[in-house]
Structure formats: structure tokens, C-alpha cells
Amino acid sequence: MSSRRIKSNRLSRTAKAKSGLLKDICPLCLIEKPLIESHLTSKGIYPLVRGEANDIILLNSRVIMHTSRQTKDLLLCQECDNSLSKNGENWIIPKLARPDGQFPLLDILEKLPPDAEKKEFKIYYTAKNLSIDVHKIVHFAMGIFWKASVHSWAGHGYTPKIELGPYRDNVRVFLRENAPFSANVSLTVFIAPRDRALTTIGEPCRGKARTYRNFAFYVPGIQFVLYAGKQITNEIKQLCFYANPEHPIVVYDTSERILNIMEEMKQTAHKSKRVQNLFACMASAMHQTGV
């Protein structure tokens, strides 16, 4: 399926959607139905990352700004949007990191000792932890990667946020529970240590790998990294949270990597003075804590 050739016209399309007049092909079920506003990053995550004045920080290659807006657009039918919530979002959102230091998913993970450990990381094989719902975590992550691959989310233009190439439709059918997970796709789950869990949102973006495609997004306390291509290394495949029957999760401090990505975005994006001051404060705080 080609990427959606719909150029956003939020006022007219939203008005039509609310009146029930807007029908289009839902890109998940491929059936013509009324479309609703869908979120790229799950709606329930936004309250976890709001700061002063109930604002969040929006970061992408075009703009860095404080905003009360959420990344959403008319994309899915009601049934498909509900399926993403039921099969992943509803399970994982209550378990994400909180600004007060609570991190329920890490609490669940640490009920059992790590299966491998070095100074920099710990690996937990979650197949033996009955409190970890592997399918719900995978469905949540792949849903966000897939939504980023079929829509621009920019308010204009046609280019999807990320490009999964020949694997996009396989992910779509996997989310519909009608296809196996592709052998040429690997999903790694990194959970931050409690004192390094940033309560922010990092929307899906392309990494720098050349022989295969790599993408990442971040929700409070968790970074999901997706690899796609025939040249994925065996080391990457061994850490695939889905395909490896042990379902490994890596506890690793990704905060420096995420802040580096934010710094790269900052070089090209338009930013307000308020955001420039915020970045300066963040850099100072992270330096003082040794990150």
C-alpha cells in the first residue's frame, strides 16, 4: 500500500469528520469508513509529560516549541483506533515512568534478578515473568512505528514521518493479527534506570544506519528501536523482544543518546527564546548529575 496521498486540511476535514460526512480508506483495515482523529503518540501519554502551564515540548526537525497541542490527525476508523488502544496502549501507559520517580514497569521487571549484567546494562528475559505482557508491548510499539510510516503528521505535505519501505504492509497485517512478525524486522526495548528515566516524548525518527533501516521513539522511561532490512546483524536479532523466545528487555541509560538527538534537532529547528533557555537548563542539570 502506498503512503496516504492526503494533504492535511485540518479545518475542513475535522469539520467533516465531526459531522460524520468524511469517509476514506482506513489505512489499517483498508475499508472505506468514517475517519476519526488519531494520535501518533498515544493520547494517554501526554498528561505524563506536561510541565508548567500544562504545556509539552514539541521537538522535530522543523520546530522546537512549548505547546498544548498534541500530534494528531484524521487517520483511522474508530474500530482500528480502538484496536490499537485495546491491544497495547491500555496495558503499557499506566506502567510508564512518572516525574515523581515512580516507574511501575521497572518495578515489575525487577521482581526477578537480571539474566545478564555488566556495568552499563542489565538484560532481563521476560518470558519467565508472567506479569510482562509481551504481545501488548510489541503491539504498542509497532503501532506507533506503523502510524509514523503511513502519514506525515506535519499538518501539510505527503511524505510519511518515517519510511519502512517493503516492511510497512507486513507491519500493518501483523497489527491486524493476520501475519507473523517479519524475519527482517527486529524490535529492541530499552528501559531506563529509575534515576535516568526522562519524562518526555520523542516521536519516531530515522537513525543513521546505512546497510539497513533503523528507527526509534521514546515514551517516559522506554526507548523502542526498530531495525528493518536483510542486513540486520545477528547481535541485533538476538535482542529482538518479539522474535527471541526469551523476550529480552535491556535496562540501559539512554538519556545521553536521547539528549544528543534533541541537540541535533535543535541545530536545524526554529526555536523560541523560552525553549532555548530550557535547553540551557537541561544541559546544566544533566552535566551536574553526571549524564
Supply the pLDDT for residue 136: 97
What is the distance between the alpha carbons of residues 185 and 182, in angstroms, rounded to a whole number?
A: 5
pLDDT tens-place string over residues 194-219: 988 888 888 898 888 889 999 999 99
Asked whether residue 119 carries a pLDDT value surpassing 60, the answer given is yes
pLDDT tens-place string over residues 51-98: 654 455 555 555 555 555 788 999 999 999 999 999 999 999 999 999
Domain-wise residue ranges, the chain: 10-288
Please provide the average confidence, as pLDDT, over all residues in the chain: 83
Supply the pLDDT for residue 273: 57
pLDDT tens-place string over residues 231-289: 999 999 999 999 999 999 999 987 776 666 666 655 655 555 555 555 554 454 444 33
User: Of 89-98, 114-123, 139-148, 262-271, which range is least confident?
Assistant: 262-271
Supply the pLDDT for residue 103: 97
Average pLDDT over residues 44-54: 73
Q: What is the number of helices (H) and of strands (E) in the chain?
A: 10, 13
Q: Beta-carbon neighbour count of residue 58 at 10 Å? A: 19
Beta bridge partners of 190: 223, 250
CB 187 within 8 A of CB 216: no
CB 63 within 8 A of CB 266: no
Supply the pLDDT for residue 144: 97
Confidence of residue 1 (pLDDT cuts 50, 70, 90): very low
Confidence of residue 7 (pLDDT cuts 50, 70, 90): very low
Asked whether residue 15 carries a pLDDT value surpassing 70, the answer given is no
CA quadruple 22, 26, 30, 34: dihedral positive or negative?
negative
What is the distance between the alpha carbons of residues 192 and 22, in angstroms, rounded to a whole number?
A: 42
Q: What percent of the chain has pLDDT over 90?
A: 59
Average pLDDT over residues 151-166: 87
What is the distance between the alpha carbons of residues 181 and 172, in angstroms, rounded to a whole number?
A: 10
Supply the pLDDT for residue 275: 53
Give, rounded to a whole angstrom, the gap between the first and last alpha carbons of the chain.
Answer: 43
Supply the pLDDT for residue 9: 45
Residue 7 cell numbers, joined: 494533504
Supply the pLDDT for residue 291: 36
More confident of the two residues 196 and 27: 27
Confidence of residue 178 (pLDDT cuts 50, 70, 90): confident
pLDDT tens-place string over residues 221-232: 999 999 999 999
Distance from chain centroid for Cα 277: 26
The DSSP code for 270 is E
